[in-house]
C-alpha cells in the first residue's frame, strides 16, 4: 500500500535552516509528483510547492521562492524539503503529499499524505 | 492568487443531519477542485476530486458538485466519524490554494 513516512520533529532557531524528508513506498516513486503543504498551529493549509521526483523539476509558491528547495533521491524513494532563514511564523506541521495523477505535468488532487513533521522555530 | 472562501466556518449538526458546505473561488476553476477531511492531529484525507468524483473507499454519503466558481460538499446523513474540519482546494492555477476550512461539530 502507498505510504509516506516523514522525518521527526525539529526545533530550530530563527535564521537557521531545516531539511525534512519524506520516504515513499508502495508505488512507483518516479511516477508521481510530490507536494509539500504546511499548517501553522490552529490554522489552515498552505501549499509550498511540488517536485517531479523523476526529473527533479520543481514549482514553488512565490511566497517561498528563494527560501525553499525541494529535492529527491530516487535511489531511496525519498523527497526532501529544505526551508532556510527560518522565522517564528514558519512554526508549523509540514506535510508531504502525493499528487493523484500519474505522469501528469499539471497538478492534481493530493491522494496520499504523510503524517506530518512539526517544525518549531524559537529562540 | 485564487482566493477560496468557504462557508460557514463552523457548522453545528447532529447525527443523521444533511450537511452542506460551500466553497467559492475568486476565478473559474473549471472542475479542478478537491475536498479534504481533517481530524485533529492527523493529515488531511482526500474525499472528492474534480469537483464531484468520489475518492476510492470514501463513503457514498459524501458528494461534491459545482463548476466554475461555486462548489458544494454534501454529507447526506452525518455520522459520528464525520465530525471534523473540511477544506476545499483548487488546483487550476499556481499557487494551489485552500479554503479556510469548515469545522463540523456536534450540536
Q: Which of A47, A111, A116 lies nearest to residue B95, judging by beta carbons?
A: A47
| Residue B25: predicted pLDDT | 98
Chain A residues with CB inside 8 Å of B95's CB?
47, 61-63
pLDDT in tens, B25-47: 999 998 999 999 999 999 999 99
| Residue B32: predicted pLDDT | 96
Residues of chain B that touch chain A, judged by Cβ-Cβ distance less than 8 Å: 34, 36, 42-46, 49-50, 55, 87, 89, 91, 94-101
Mean pLDDT (whole number) for B81-91: 97
| Residue A72: predicted pLDDT | 98
Specify whether the CB–CB gap between A92 and A31 falls below 8 A.
Answer: no
Rounded Cα gap, residues B107 and B97, in angstroms: 30
Chain A residues with CB inside 8 Å of B93's CB?
none
Q: What is the pLDDT along chain A (123 residues), one digit of tens a residue?
A: 999 999 999 999 999 999 999 999 999 999 999 999 999 999 999 999 999 999 999 999 999 999 999 999 999 999 999 999 999 999 999 999 999 988 888 899 999 999 999 999 999
Chain B: closest CA distance from residue A108 (Å): 6
Within 10 angstroms of residue B46's Cβ, the number of other Cβ atoms is 23
Rounded Cα gap, residues B74 and B22, in angstroms: 9
Amino acid at each position: 500500500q502507498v505510504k509516506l513516512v516523514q522525518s521527526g520533529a525539529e526545533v530550530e532557531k530563527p535564521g537557521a535552516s531545516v531539511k525534512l524528508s519524506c520516504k515513499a513506498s508502495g508505488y512507483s516513486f518516479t511516477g508521481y509528483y510530490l507536494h509539500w503543504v504546511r499548517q501553522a498551529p490552529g490554522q489552515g493549509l498552505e501549499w509550498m510547492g511540488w517536485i517531479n521526483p523523476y526529473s527533479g523539476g520543481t514549482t514553488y509558491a512565490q511566497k517561498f521562492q528563494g527560501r525553499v528547495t525541494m529535492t529527491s533521491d530516487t535511489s531511496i524513494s525519498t523527497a526532501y524539503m529544505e526551508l532556510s532563514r527560518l522565522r517564528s511564523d514558519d512554526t508549523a506541521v509540514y506535510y508531504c503529499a502525493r499528487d493523484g495523477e500519474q505522469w501528469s505535468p499539471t497538478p492534481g488532487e493530493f491522494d496520499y499524505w504523510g503524517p506530518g513533521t512539526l517544525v518549531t522555530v524559537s529562540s | 492568487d485564487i482566493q477560496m472562501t468557504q462557508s460557514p466556518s463552523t457548522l453545528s449538526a447532529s447525527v443523521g443531519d444533511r450537511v452542506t458546505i460551500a466553497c467559492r473561488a475568486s476565478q473559474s476553476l473549471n472542475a479542478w477542485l478537491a475536498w479534504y477531511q481533517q481530524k485533529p492531529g492527523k493529515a488531511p484525507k482526500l474525499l472528492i476530486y474534480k469537483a464531484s468524483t468520489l475518492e476510492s473507499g470514501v463513503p457514498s454519503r459524501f458528494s461534491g458538485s459545482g463548476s466554475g466558481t461555486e462548489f458544494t460538499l454534501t454529507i447526506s446523513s452525518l455520522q459520528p466519524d464525520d465530525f471534523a474540519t473540511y477544506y476545499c482546494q483548487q488546483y487550476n492555477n499556481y499557487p494551489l490554494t485552500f479554503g479556510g476550512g469548515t469545522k463540523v461539530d456536534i450540536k
